Amino acid sequence: AQSVTQPDIHITVSEGASLELRCNYSYGATPYLFWYVQSPGQGLQLLLKYFSGDTLVQGIKGFEAEFKRSQSSFNLRKPSVHWSDAAEYFCAVGARNTDKLIFGTGTRLQVFP
């Protein structure tokens, strides 16, 4: 069965510092992987997605993620965090021929000035 694990519930970083949010997945075939962000009172916004090809994926707002099959990971990174990046981040896995996504439990990012 598909599953997604986000080991970090809450992360605090200083503005300007680098960021890495961890995501591990369990899926039998090549997964479809996503990172979404949710600001308070908002819906989810897609940051980036991976289906195949280049394992380093670029997304919006300066985010990138790297797919590592050997580690079943899809970690999200940003070289320099801005205060506006404070939000909750969700990793998700999808499957072929369906819109259904399995989400991780989320990581809440707090940014200090």
Partner 1 sequence: KAGVTQTPRYLIKTRGQQVTLSCSPISGHRSVSWYQQTPGQGLQFLFEYFSETQRNKGNFPGRFSGRQFSNSRSEMNVSTLELGDSALYLCASSLASGPQETQYFGPGTRLLVL
Where does this chain bind partner 1 (CB under 8 A)?
32, 34, 36, 41-46, 49, 51, 90, 92, 94-106
- We find the least distance from the C-beta atom of residue 101 to partner 1, in angstroms, to be 7
80 vs 110, beta carbon nearer partner 1: 110
Question: How far apart are alpha carbons 57 and 72 in whole angstroms?
Answer: 15
Question: How far apart are alpha carbons 8 and 109 in whole angstroms?
Answer: 10
- We find the least distance from the C-beta atom of residue 35 to partner 1, in angstroms, to be 13
Backbone region of residue 61 per phi and psi (left: phi > 0; alpha: psi in -120 to 50; beta: other values): left
DSSP label at 90?
E
76 vs 81, beta carbon nearer partner 1: 76
- We find the least distance from the C-beta atom of residue 78 to partner 1, in angstroms, to be 20
Q: Interior CA angle at 58 toward 4 and 51, to 5°?
A: 50
81 vs 90, beta carbon nearer partner 1: 90
- We find the least distance from the C-beta atom of residue 73 to partner 1, in angstroms, to be 19
32 vs 63, beta carbon nearer partner 1: 32
Residue 5: beta bridge partners?
24
